[in-house]
Amino acid sequence: MNRERIISLLCVGLLLISSHVSALKLELANGKWSVTAAGYQAASKNGYLNSLKTDGKEFLAQEKVASGSYLCSGKILPLKELKKSDENTITGSSEFGTVTYEFTDKDITCKFTNKFAQTVVFYFIMNKNVTTVIANGAGMLEVPVKSCKGRSFILV
């Protein structure tokens, strides 16, 4: 190959790489986080995922609930010590344990590590207009559903 062709191929490769750069924007300020990604927008309340929108539609309940999601073991504690672990990850903790949110352009992964001596439930309160969800490998479930198989959460 001649030098000009190699340089042209490198330029095309760089253009292809730059066209796949993530549009994800994760912000953390004043104890709140928000995410804007190609496929959704998300925001926190008390450290927890509280709002999840795609195409302008809200998936988590906003009215008459402590938050769209939260940890509970007889009481609800806010997540504190919020920090960005990396560009796309937020971690927060309470006496119940640690919650980690990992964001990509299309997905959010929530991980909970229980540090409490008792059972802790991680609730996700769905918007009343949501009729179907996918829960921990249980497949498509119609809402409301009361299912607690293995590590699946209860949706009501």
Across the range 126-140, mean pLDDT stands at 73
Residue 122: pLDDT band by 50, 70, 90 thresholds? Answer: confident
- pLDDT (tens digit, 9 = 90+) per residue, 13-47? 333 444 445 689 999 999 899 999 998 999 999 99
Q: What pLDDT is stored for residue 7 in this prediction?
A: 41
What residue segments make up the domains of the chain, in order of their start? 23-125
Query: Quick one: CA torsion of 143, 34, 37, 111, rounded to 10 degrees?
Result: -60
Q: Are 45 and 61 in contact (CB under 8 A)?
A: no
Please state the pTM of the whole predicted model.
0.74
Among 65, 70, 79, 72, residue whose Cα is nearest residue 32: 79
CA distance 54 to 155: 20
